[in-house]
Structure 1
Amino acid sequence: MRVRLQAIVLTLVAALVFGLGIPLALSVAASAQLDLFLDRLTDTSRFASLAQRPLVENRPGLIEDELRRYTEVYDVPVMVVDQDGEIVAKALNGPATGIDLKSDVIASHVQAALAGRRSEPGPILMPWNSEPLVIAEPILIDGEVRGAVITSSSTEKARAALLWWWLLIAAGAVLAFSLALVVAVPVVRWILRPVRRLDDATGELVAAVVSGREVQRVGETGGPPELRQLERSFDRMAASVDEALSAQRAFVADASHQLRNPLTALKIRLGNLGGHVDDDLAAADLEAAVVDARRLNQILDELLSLARAEASGGELVPVDLDEMVGARIADWTVVGETREIALVASGLGAGLRVLTPARGLEVVLDALLDNAMKFSGPGTEVRVTVTATDGKVDIAVRDHGPGLRDEELERAADRFWRSTAHQNVPGSGLGLAIVTEITVRSGGSLRLGSPEGGGLEVTVTLPVVNP
């Protein structure tokens, strides 16, 4: 946006400079041409007046000395012709007068003068036009055209002066454009400073919402009044979003925590009823109630874990990856043995450390291994692979269960989402949501895939702590 705004400003300045500079240059050229024309016209008219007597008395010598002195002083050839176009007097003896009557330009001027027409200014003088300025004035005697006086003036000096004027105008235009550029850059930056700050604040707002950190305020960073008002409006919106999210997290955490006590009491009471219900149908209902209470208790535990992950703030702690992965695999190996599922790890021993929320990596590994164990059948294996590349580490957990369809992979990390094929498998649909929350808070990412051979592979990517 800054480049586009600067381009617009500079385009307008360039249009203004050229819009004023070109007419000024043409005006200077027209003025120089008119000055030269009037000066030569005055001299030519004077010679037309002086040539009247020599023509009447047929004594060209009366004017030739005047013509010669004029040519020597001003270097402007002058010639007098009669009404038939024949030379009567000229500045120098012989043909070297600098005026060629056979030239189309001079011949047309002579014919116009002999027809009684006065000379008129020609086209605007241009630095590259080397044609001489030809002026032909009729010699009138008793109202009758008896001849004409022709002058042919070089325009070199006028064109040189005009070129210097044009260079001066061009230098002024370049200077004005440069000054506009110098002024436009800080002005555009001043205008766009609030826009850039708002753009950064928007990204920070999204990151804060995702990570659970406090939303930072923009404040007034200068700029036009309208943008300062927009900054204040953004701060009010950010405060409202922060308050709403904080209230939501607090509600989830408080509700989960408060519901655990009555739910625990309900489980105990349901357990105490065991053996005291004689009716078979009532016994079946009691068993179903116990299962539902257990499932509800699991959902509340995971909701509480999710709320804690969202509200854990920005504190990240370094964790030894090998030690944590090894500890979790050792604990889950016992579970795998009871289900005849082998747990295999590879890629350990690199001594890597990652930053996660307190107990964050432990929660992530437990959630991934729990999912893998739930959907793996007896006689299969769950593989944990650690791979480090370019300052990041991938922790992949792969099972050989039923897996997910391609269209389901995108929704698998949504809260409370479960595949229709897994409805009979215990779970709440919050495991991968918790993993995603912790991973994003750690500056990483989550990726799900369907590897060859079936099953599901969940890869958590985390940045490595610099040694």
Structure 2
Amino acid sequence: MRVRLQGIVVTLVALLVFGLGIPLALTMAGSLQQNLFLDRLTDTARFASLAQRPLIDNRPALLEPELRRYTEVYGVKVVVVNQDSVPVLSSLGGTDAARIDRTAIAAPVNEALAGRHPEPGPLLMPWSTAPLVLAEPILIDGEVRGVVVTESSTDHVRTRLLWQWLVLAAGAVVAFGLALLVAIPVVRWTLRPVRRLDEATGALVAAVVSGREAEPVGESGGPPELRKLGRSFDRMAASVSEALAAQRAFVADASHQLRNPLTALKLRLGNLEGHVDDDAAAADLDAARVDAGRLNQILDELLSMARAESAGGELVAEDLGAVVADRVADWSVVGAARDVALETDAAVNGARVLLPPRGLEVILDALIDNALKFTGQGTSVHVSAVNGGDRVTLAVRDHGPGLREDELERAVDRFWRSSAHQNVPGSGLGLAIVREIVRHSGGDLRLSLPDGGGLRIELDLRVAP
């Protein structure tokens, strides 16, 4: 936007400079031409008056000394032509036609013989090379008896005009530069609130995701309308942050408060064991205990989700290889009980990744637990890590039924479970928790369907400096 606005300002300044400079340049050219024309017209009219008596007496040579002197002083050629368009006198001496450009003076002579007086002609330009030719009729008793023609070089006038135009162009460039020097800070001042809003919008998303307080835009200068917009944005950001904080607090408080009555309920159900004789009632008691355990698991995962969403800005460096080895060793016992082998290949060379405190353990527990649920007996779960410089790719691959292609994006949504896996225990929060932790730490999460079946979950994690 800044480039476009500056382009508009530059265009307007350029139009203003050219809109004033071009007419001024043409006015200069017209003024110099008019001065030259009037000066030469006065001299030509004077010679036309002086030529009346020599033509009446048929002695045009009487005017030759004055014409010659005029040419020597001013460099202007003067020719006297009779009624038949025949030169009878020249300031260069005699009437030699070779010294006279008959073509240049033919048209002005014909107009003067018709009784018309000279006109300025086309506008004089620095690149014009044609001389200024003026033809004044010699009137005797109201009859045109001849014509006085002056032929003036325009070199000195065109040179003067060129210098004036150069000075004008230099002034236009200076004015254009000064206008830009003023316009660029004004544009920056105008767009400063817009830039702050853009930065605050990006920071708001990161703050909301990480649970931090959004940085206010504040009074960052600029037009009053944009400052008012910035204040409105601050109020909106504060409302969003408060609403999300209240939501997370509610989830955490509700989950925490429900754990005590749920624990009491599990104890009461345990106390009933052995006191229920009816087979149907015993089956219901067992189902109630299973449901209570499942509810307890959901509450634990809700608490984990709340902690992941409100982790704040704190990130710590964790030894990826050590944590992977530790979690694989612990889960190998569960895998052995289910006849599932846990394999690891962590070629990370002591890499340390940035995550919230205990975030890597939570991620590996959720991914390995999820993989063991769906992997069949006699298969394996593979945990790998590859160091890519400033990023480490951590992957967990199982050999279960996997997902459909259209289910990969939805698999990280809260409480979402595939219709084909409804009989598998779980709450649908594991991958959602992993996504929140990875997002907070600035990483990426991807799900793919590898060759040979199953599901592969990859995490790109930042390496600690």
Partner letter of residue 379 of structure 1?
A: G
Q: Report deviation, 1:97.
A: 7.7
Letter in 1 for 2:81: V
- Which runs of at least 4 in structure 1 moved beyond 6 Å after TM superposition? none
- Tell me the alpha carbon deviations over residues 191-235 of structure 1, each in whole angstroms, 9 at most, x when there is no partner: 111111111111110001111112111211111111111111111
Separation (CA, whole Å) in 1 of partners of 2:214 and 2:44: 88
Residue 38 of structure 2: SS of its match in structure 1?
helix
Q: Write out aligned runs for 1:31-46 (5 A).
A: 31-46=31-46
Shift of 1:98: 5.1
TM-score of the aligned structures, taking structure 1 as reference length = 0.97
> Structure 1: 5+ residue runs without aligned partners?
none
Specify the alignment match of 1:414 in structure 2. Answer: 413
Contact 2:71 2:77 survives alignment (8 Å): yes
Structure 1 residue aligned with 2:378:
379
Query: Does structure 2 conserve the Cα–Cα contact (< 8 Å) formed by 1:193 and 1:223?
Result: yes
Instruction: Tell me the residue number matched to 2:53.
Output: 53
Pair 1:200 & 2:195 matched: no
Q: CA separation in 2, counterparts of 1:270 and 1:37?
A: 120
The amino acid of 1:69's aligned partner reads R
- SS of 1:150's partner is strand
Quick check: 2:81–2:147 contact (8 Å CA) kept in 1? yes
Contact 1:394 1:461 in 2 (8 A): yes
Q: CA deviation at 1:275?
A: 2.8
The residue number in structure 2 matching 1:450 is 449
Q: Closer, same or farther in 2 for the Cα pair 1:97/1:119, shift >3 Å?
A: farther
* Offset of residue 169 of structure 1: 1.0
Instruction: State the 1:349 CA deviation.
Output: 5.8
Does residue 1:100 correspond to 2:128, yes or no?
A: no
Length-normalised TM-score, structure 2: 0.98
2:11 equivalent in structure 1: 11
Matches within 5 A, 1:123-272: 123-272=122-271
Deviation at 1:99, TM superposition (A): 3.0
Whole-angstrom CA distance in 2 between matches of 1:140 and 1:383: 118
CA distance in 2, matches of 1:392, 1:96: 95
Partner of 1:334: 333
Taking a change above 3 Å as real, the CA distance of residues 349 and 390 of structure 1, as seen in their structure-2 partners, is closer
- Distance (Å, rounded) in 1 between the aligned partners of 2:79 and 2:243: 100
Question: How far apart, in 2, do the equivalents of 1:7 and 1:135 lie?
Answer: 49
Q: Which amino acid aligns with 1:79?
A: V
Amino acid at match of 1:85: S
**Structure 2 unaligned residues grouped into runs of 5+:** none
Offset from partner CA, 1:8-46 (integer Å, 9 cap, x none):
000000001011111111111111111111110000000
Counterparts of 1:302 and 1:349, CA distance in 2 = 30
Q: How does 1:62-141 map to 2 (within 5 A)?
A: 62-94=62-94, 95=96, 99-101=100-102, 103=103, 105-141=104-140
Does residue 286 of structure 2 align to residue 298 of structure 1?
no
Identity across matched positions, percent: 70
Counterpart CA distance in 2 for 1:281 and 1:265 is 23
**1:76 alignment partner AA:** V
* Structure-to-structure mapping, 1:275-294, within 5 angstroms: 275-294=274-293
Shift of 1:272: 2.0
CA contact (8 A) 1:387 1:395 kept: yes
Measure how far apart 1:288 and its partner are.
2.0
User: In the TM superposition, what is the alpha-carbon distance from 1:340 to its structure 2 partner?
Assistant: 0.5
Secondary structure at the residue paired with 2:308? Answer: helix
**Is the contact between residue 320 and residue 348 of structure 2 (CA under 8 Å) also seen in structure 1?**
no
Residue 184 of structure 2 aligns to which amino acid in structure 1?
A: V
**1:341, 1:382 within 8 Å by CA — same for their partners in 2?**
yes
Q: Structure 2: how far apart are the matches of 1:231 and 1:172?
A: 41
- Pairs aligned (count): 464
* SS of match in other structure, 2:411: coil
CA distance in 2, matches of 1:347, 1:247: 40
Q: Secondary structure at the match of 2:120?
A: coil
For 2:464 and 2:320, the matched residues in 1 are separated by 11
Q: Which moved more, 1:222-231 or 1:255-264?
A: 222-231
Task: Report the CA distance between 1:276 and its aligned residue.
Answer: 2.4
Measured against aligned partners, the alpha-carbon deviations of 1:98-154 in whole angstroms (never above 9, x if no partner) come to 5322x0x41111011011110111000011110000000000001011000000100
Of stretches 273-282 and 433-442 in structure 1, the one that deviates more from structure 2 is: 273-282
Alpha-carbon contact 1:77-1:99 (below 8 Å) kept: no
Instruction: Give, in whole Å, the separation in 2 of the partners of 1:267 and 1:60.
Output: 140
Question: CA shift at 1:161, angstroms?
Answer: 0.4
The alpha-carbon deviation at position 61 of structure 1 amounts to 2.0
Q: Give RMSD over aligned pairs.
A: 1.2
Taking the aligned partners of 2:220 and 2:30, their CA distance within structure 1 comes to 53
Q: 1:233 to 1:435 in 2, by over 3 A?
A: same
